[in-house]
Structure 1
Amino acid sequence: MDVSCAFPTALDSPDNIALAERLGYHRAWVYDTPQQSPDVWMTLALAAERTERIGLGPGVLVPSLRHPMVNAAATATLAALAPGRVAVAFGTGFTGRRAMGYGAIRWSYMESYIRAYRGLLRGEIVEWEGAQMRMLHPDGHAPQRPIDVPILVGALGPKGNRVARELADGLFATLQPPEFMTEHSWVAYLEWGTVLDDGEDHGSERARVTAGPGWALSLHGAYEFGGPDAVRALPGGQEWLKVVEASPQEHRHLAVHSGHCVALNAADEAAWRAGGSSTLGNVTLSGTREQVRRRIDDYRSRGVTEIVFQPCGPDIEAELERFLEACA
């Protein structure tokens, strides 16, 4: 199993990616969350200039945020800066859309988008929004077409799995491992958490700042996919809802997704203090080195070929090192 990392795109992400390369990580993915992050493609370009070996890619791109020609041109640019190191993952949009008040895009749109995007990279004339277009980049403006870049698709259900099987080179999964992972030869699985010292409590301050942002996704996801009742069923859920529902209905998505994968927001903090931390070991890849190693072995047996770890907290290097030690 390859051991990769992910970062919620930030101004220091290029330096963190260079650090991950020095430590031996296989690939670095960065998020497409423009409502809280610097541009994903600018960040990857800077990382390409600072590295030589590590794989690079957006994980995941949200198609509705850019015209397929824009993403094709950006992909071509990164492929020129980091030849042989680029992979691209697409998803329907969790925080990348919901934090701006939108729902996920339809799989029919995703399918059409990836077909157009792949056709552009092959140098073909494609139709998009009723117009015919092709990459016209002359020498010195992009690599010669075709540009061969592997594509992963973020899918949890049968519609997404069909698109991944027909149009992609693999699967990018997170939150809930789908049963169909074994159908794909490349499965990148994104996890959050921290490696605890023996005897360290799940509710420790270090666990809160390093694994808490990933833990909070269990509340965010429950709210988005199951509504308030699903949140109430979770430890600390009632306290979380009290903070979120203090915002006007039209602004609640801002309260839910603030701090996504970076820090606990006010609602998350309330839930953590109310005992929500008790679920940390269930909803994140957190535990002792031996516990983390067993979880990774379980993922491998279920079809995961690339574990993707997002570190968090004030000492990214220490978190990256701890995780690699647990994987050894």
Structure 2
Amino acid sequence: MNQLRNLITDIPGLRVGNAEDAALGSGVTVALFDEPAVVSFFAMGGAPATRETDLLDPDKMVPGIHGVVLSGGSAFGLDAASGVQAFLRERGIGFAVRDALVPLVSQASSFDLVNGGNKNWGRYPPYRELGYEAALNAGLDFTLGTAGGGYGATTANLKGGLGSTSAVTSAGHAVGALVVVNSVSSAVIGNGPHFWAGALEENEEFGGHGHPDRVGPEKRKLIWKGGPQPATTIALVATDAVLTKGQAKRLAIASHAGLARALRFSHALFDGDAIFAAATGRRPLRDEASEFTELTALAADCLTRAIARGVYEATALPYPGAQPAWRDLFETT
């Protein structure tokens, strides 16, 4: 395997692109597969915004899809998948049915409609064009933090953002995570700078602060946005292993442990917490039980790390009263 980027694009057969609009205060991130990937999905939040997720269930006929979109914009943002479809169709990519060609693109969106950006877009929201632009930008390297679907993301007390990490299992399978951190709760312990994910950090990827010596009751006090404000952390985990749709579903379910470890708290009534799991099918499982179990564990670990990294890499939005970024408060701590 080539030198790792610590990005989900360390999984062969997958590219990622971002597009954002600073005036809008929102954006789109797209993961495109070189070949149709086996993908499944599981949502545990109480308020998800999704498109084309039913076809990912193991009992549905579609064997693979062409892309996954993570966007801002709440239900309006679901238009982004149309732009990605247009990009793929122009290039002759899609599920062929006689003379028709239908690119299959699934999506989840997060709620970033009250972050200070200008959401008065007129008749139609701009997410279709942002989706097309993000697909056009897809490659192996991409920006983290205040970028793409994470551009307008916030947490309870710090600017959220786009995060990604990767790892390799003991059997050599690549696994990684891509996440838009827009949580109703907090990614840091108390008033920071320590991340809840600190125990799993690698190579100081989110500041190297680890955990405090003790997490007492005062540091466990719930910090959250409060009231009926939706806030969603949405993610894609991926591997180069050969998986069935049933195994991909189990991978998506198991990866929700990564949300629970990185945020205090997750899966709440106003959360739309949702995870896609993709397999690009480059490396068969030799010892299915043990290798798949390790994949589920490392995928959750990658997601935990990616959430902290998304907050760590973020910069504040350019609006009066915008949330501070982690680096604004703790860069020299």
Bigger relative contact order (CA 8 A; separation at least 6): 2
Question: Taking structure 1 as the reference length, what is the TM-score of the superposition?
Answer: 0.28
